Amino acid sequence: MTEQINAFEMAQAQFDHVAEMLNLDPQVAEMLRWPAREFQFQVPIRMDDGSMRVFTGFRVQHSDARGPSKGGIRFHPSETLDTVRALAMWMTWKCAVADIPLGGGKGGIPVDSSTLSMAEKERLCRGWVGQMYRNIGPRQDVPAPDVGTNPQMMGWMMDEYSKLVGEYTPGVITGKPLGGGGSLGRTEATGFGVIYTVREAMKHLGMDSTKSVAAIQGFGNVAQYAAIGFIDQLGGKVACVSYWDRDDKQAYTVSHPDGIDPYFLQSITDIYGSINKDKAVEAGYQIEDGDAWISKEADVLIPSALEGQVNAESVQRISSRVKIVAEGANGPTTPEADEVLKARGIFNIPDFLCNAGGVTVS
């Protein structure tokens, strides 16, 4: 991505545009442009080698007008307060569109969780809760897994919160392991939800899903189940996925002339979403640059990585064949790219509808 994207400025620009379209009361609009509360704090952690490392933690509660704030906790090296602000705002709209009685929240720590041992991850999760437990809870703010976090980590957080408040409180966190109070189907929910919205968009546009091809950015939780759903449920073909290679510190696109097999790729993918390139090549897959996915000859593009990936520069590489962009990630399309998609007649499924399956099933 060549242009620098400030996610919160992008979220506010999107909101301002819609507020003007709705002729929203300016006083209400000004209130909704800003988070209700935000927290920034330090989390000191004893590392395995005995050293002390201090991490920065964030939590933003954008709105609780419809109910407790709701939204994930991200562990990602590029996490910033502005990113968390934007994601919290988008969660408010997402819960409203899905008609769930919750508001919007989001949290995070700027860290690459793949560089931490299991014990260090646990201490970091418990440390984050130690700083935030007075301001989260089933009736205040309910976190969940997101980029760089998983059900096990949610289990640690729930356990720490329960210890600190003196009672077992499974409702403080969603996305926990199934045996620890989690929801059946939560793992697949976001990716399958993406496919359900794609299915309805195809019906609206009169497209035959069995003759359609998708190109997917990412191969984390959302992208994996979006790929499975596009093939198994819609009968289509997935030309490629992309992923971040932890060893090479760069992104790659993985494609196959006959379409990818998501189950095979899952079998050679580690818990952080990195695909084993050597095994993929042995199986006939092609390894390309990380941004190659967006220029594939496909009917549907599904950006399912991070925000700002479809921007003023990258949108110019989208094939004339593309009919749908389904936003599996949060905020993947910038306002400038939105205008290009609209001008080209490409049907854009916005993130707060497209990926609402996760919060719905949580």
8 A C-beta contact, residue 317 and residue 292: no
User: Which band of pLDDT confidence, cut at 50, 70 and 90, is reported for residue 1?
Assistant: very low
Q: Which CATH architecture has domain 186-361?
A: 3-Layer(aba) Sandwich (3.40)
Q: Would you call 90 exposed, middle or buried from its count of C-beta atoms within 10 A (0-12, 13-18, 19+)?
A: buried
Distance CA 54, CA 47 (A): 10
Kindly state the tokens that stand for 188.
Answer: 């697949």
145 φ, ψ (degrees, to nearest 5): -70, 155
Enter the pTM of the model. 0.89
User: Which band of pLDDT confidence, cut at 50, 70 and 90, is reported for residue 4?
Assistant: low
Give me the mean pLDDT over the 157-177 stretch.
Answer: 96
Q: If phi over 0 gives left and psi between -120 and 50 gives alpha, with beta otherwise, what is residue 284?
A: left
What pLDDT is recorded for position 143?
A: 97
**Which of 8-12, 179-183, 259-263, 298-302 has the least mean pLDDT?**
179-183
User: Which band of pLDDT confidence, cut at 50, 70 and 90, is reported for residue 227?
Assistant: very high
Cite the active site residues: 106
**Topology at the third CATH level for domain 7-180:** Rossmann fold (3.40.50)
Q: Where are the domains of the chain?
A: 7-180, 186-361
Kindly state the tokens that stand for 162.
Answer: 């329960």
8 A C-beta contact, residue 207 and residue 253: no
Q: ∠ CA 296-302-306 to the nearest 5 degrees?
A: 110
Distance CA 286, CA 257 (A): 8
Digit-coded pLDDT (tens) for 101-157: 999 999 999 999 989 999 999 999 999 999 999 999 999 999 999 989 999 999 999
Give me the mean pLDDT over the 180-205 stretch.
Answer: 95
Rg of the Cα trace of the chain? 20
